[in-house]
């Protein structure tokens, strides 16, 4: 067992419904694949380039090996892979990855949300829940997020959650078939103050129930 894993976080009420976060499950396969096949246009421009066509990489049978790989990283303390739910239903994923301990105690966060619930505060709530958890139970000191300059909704999510822009990484990540520039956003535990969730609630963007 590693600090902070496994854990269930939330719920937090936002405009789209009640947002919670729980470890990914093998039986997420059906929802995961159905939503991702439908949402190719919504997701593909922002995700790492993969081998083969979208419909193969996101078929029902491509979930079990991904689940196995993420679960084994989680067991080794290198990753915290979560499913986002809205009113109890699968609505996306949020992952804390590349967890480095010792004197760095740092990781990245990445997320996606089903097109059926976007613009309702879901991703912001999930980021707040997961980053608070990373800074408390999981014992991390810094969380980083890299985002394409064109990805206005994701930049809004990070800004609303309280992340600060640190710089521009040139031709940083192979996304949607080419090397893409990414802004680096980050936050340290000192900057999280009373917590991201507490700040969202104080700002009137979320409620505890
Ligand atoms: N132009 C301007 N603002 C927009 C647009 C747009 N086209 N679309 C959405 N927004 C705004 C929303 O109004 C909202 O701001 P507001 O609360 O001030 O009104 C904000 O962007 C989105 O905030 P949330 O509702 O909390 O986020 P949502 O649940 O909609 O999820 C997400 C956002 C995750 C980026 C979703 O659109 C998605 O899954 N996109 C595809 C995958 C992706 O880009 N993932 C992020 C990659 S980068 C990373 O992981 C660090």
60: how many CB neighbours lie within 10 A of its CB?
12
Give the tens place of pLDDT for each residue, 83-101.
999 999 999 999 999 999 9
Give the tens place of pLDDT for each residue, 145-195.
999 999 999 999 999 999 999 999 999 999 999 999 999 999 999 999 999
pTM of the shown model: 0.98
Mutation to probe ligand 1, out of 97, 107, 110, 153 (largest number of atoms < 8 A from CB)? 153
Measured in angstroms, how far is the CA atom of residue 2 from the centroid of ligand 1?
31
Query: Which residue, among 24, 4, 14, 18, has the nearest Cα to 111 in the 3D structure?
Result: 24
Measured in angstroms, how far is the CA atom of residue 3 from the centroid of ligand 1?
29
- Indicate the DSSP class of residue 48: B
């Amino acid at each position: 067992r590693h600090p902070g894993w496994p854990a269930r976080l939330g719920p937090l009420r936002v405009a789209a419904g009640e947002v919670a976060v729980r470890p990914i499950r093998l039986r997420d396969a059906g929802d995961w694949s159905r939503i991702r096949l439908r949402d190719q246009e919504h997701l593909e421009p922002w995700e790492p380039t993969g081998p083969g066509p979208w419909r193969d990489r996101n078929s029902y049978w491509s979930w079990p090996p991904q689940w196995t790989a993420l679960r084994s990283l989680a067991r080794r303390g290198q990753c915290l892979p979560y499913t986002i739910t809205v009113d109890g239903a699968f609505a996306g994923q949020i992952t804390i990855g590349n967890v480095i301990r010792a004197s760095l105690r740092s990781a990245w966060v990445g997320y996606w949300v089903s097109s059926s619930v976007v613009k309702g505060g879901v991703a912001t709530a999930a980021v707040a829940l997961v980053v608070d958890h990373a800074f408390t139970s999981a014992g991390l000191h810094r969380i980083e997020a890299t985002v394409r300059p064109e990805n206005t909704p994701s930049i809004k999510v990070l800004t609303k959650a309280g992340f600060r822009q640190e710089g521009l990484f040139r031709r940083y990540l192979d996304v949607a078939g080419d090397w893409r520039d990414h802004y680096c956003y980050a936050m340290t535990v000192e900057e999280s103050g009373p917590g991201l969730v507490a700040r969202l609630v104080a700002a009137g963007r979320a409620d505890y129930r």
